[in-house]
Structures are given as C-alpha cells and as structure tokens.
C-alpha cells in the first residue's frame, strides 16, 4: 500500500503510464483507508485543457464525487467504520452512463457527459487534486491514509470484473494495474507491505 502519513501540498504518487489514445470508455478501481472527515482526492487525471478530466474525490465520509470532463455526479454511500473502501467507477461516452461500485456492490447508474472524449496526454496522480496540469495542489484536499489496488482500463467492467479487481486478480489486462504499476513517489509517501 501507499501510505500518505500527513496533510501536504507536495506529497503524491505520480502514475507513469503513458496513455496514447483518448478514452471513450474507462474504468478506475482502487482501495482506500482513511479516517479523514475533510475533503480529499483519491485519483486525479488531468489534461492541459481540463484539470478534472477524471477525478475521484471524497468531500466527506459517506460521499464520493466522480468527475468526467469537469462535470460530476454524487454517490452517497454508508459511512464505514475503520475499514477500507474498495471503489470502482466506470463511464462510457456513447450513453454517458456512469457506474459506481463500493466494496463490490453496484449503486444505481447515472448519466454524465454523453459524447465526451477524455483527452491525452494525461497527468495521473494519487492523493492530490490537480487544479492545473501536474500541480495546483491544496493541502486541505490532500489524502491522508492508505491507497492500494489501483487499476485503470479503457473499457467498462462487469460485476465479476469488479470482484476480481477487489482481490488483485483482474480478468482483463488493465492500462495499468497493481501488479504492473509504473509510479514515482513525490514528497512524503511510503510504499509499505
């Protein structure tokens, strides 16, 4: 797991995957463990034109914001007490349908940004919200806690695929994933067993 030990405007994990093609579909899954009650960013994918191209953001316990192309949906979830949360989000351009799963359970599907295309090149970060391409951080939105089991695909995902990702055994080869995870740690973040 990546451990983010304290609030910071300079600590994050940079995903070094090179995405060549714009995305008309994608899925992002990750596991997080935190006791923060303030807003924090889990996964941030920014392009030079759009800082919130893809963003998984937690404004408070029991609520997730899922951004595509600067617009977002809210997903209200039960507050978990002292346990990690595994989240998958998926989106397809042709319908705009966004899907959200928490700990393997699906939430009702919603619509967002039909016909949009997620751009490249991307700056992909864990633990900070980018307000500019690769920067513009706010310590008050930084993540504190643990993040692991990060995956991204350029397709949708099935219920069985979500469960497989939960156990780090993906059905389909991801664009990047936990077993093949090109990353660079910036600032005070630690990789721990």
Residue 80's CATH number: 2.60.120.200
- pLDDT band, residue 132 (cuts 50/70/90): very high
For residue 106, pLDDT over 90 is answered with yes
CA dist 66 and 43 (Å) reads 10
- For residue 83, the tally of other CB atoms under 10 A from its CB is 8
Q: Do 127 and 114 contact (CB within 8 A), yes or no?
A: no
Residue 176: closest CA among 14, 3, 5: 14
**Looking at residue 134, what is its pLDDT?**
96
Q: What is the mean pLDDT of residues 68-82?
A: 93
* 120/180 Cα distance (integer angstroms): 21
CA 30, CA 149: separation in Å to the nearest integer? Answer: 5
pLDDT at 81 over 90: no
Out of 3-7, 18-22, 88-92, 137-141, pick the least confident: 18-22
More confident residue, 190 or 18: 190
Q: How far apart are the first and last CA of the chain?
A: 6
In angstroms, what CA-CA distances link 54 with 65, 72, 130? 10, 9, 10
The pLDDT of residue 82: 83
pLDDT tens track for 13-57: 999 998 999 999 999 999 999 999 999 999 999 999 999 999 999
Residue 56 has a CB neighbour count (10 Å cut-off) of 24
- The first and second tokens of residue 190, run together, are 């630690």
Biggest CA–CA distance in the chain, Å, is: 41
pLDDT of residue 42: 98
pLDDT band at 179 (very low <50, low <70, confident <90, very high): confident
What's the confidence (pLDDT) of residue 154?
A: 97
Domain count, the chain: 1
- For residue 42, the enclosing domain spans 2-191
């Amino acid at each position: 797991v990546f451990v983010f030990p304290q609030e910071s405007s300079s600590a994050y994990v940079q995903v070094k995957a090179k995405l060549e093609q714009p995305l008309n579909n994608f899925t992002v899954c990750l596991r997080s463990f935190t006791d923060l009650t303030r807003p924090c960013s889990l996964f941030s994918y920014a392009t030079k034109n759009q800082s919130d191209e893809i963003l998984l953001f937690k404004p408070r316990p029991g609520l997730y914001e899922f951004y595509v192309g600067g617009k977002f949906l809210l997903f209200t979830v039960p507050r978990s007490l002292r346990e990690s949360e595994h989240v998958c989000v998926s989106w397809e351009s042709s319908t705009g349908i966004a899907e959200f799963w928490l700990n393997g359970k699906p939430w009702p599907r919603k619509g967002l940004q039909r016909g949009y295309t997620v751009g490249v090149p991307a700056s992909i970060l864990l633990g900070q919200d980018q307000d500019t391409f690769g920067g513009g951080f706010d310590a008050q939105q930084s993540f504190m806690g643990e993040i692991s089991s990060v995956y991204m695909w350029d397709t949708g995902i099935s219920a069985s695929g979500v469960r497989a990702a939960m156990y780090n055994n993906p059905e389909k080869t991801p664009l990047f994933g936990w077993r093949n995870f090109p990353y660079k740690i910036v600032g005070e973040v630690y990789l721990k067993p």
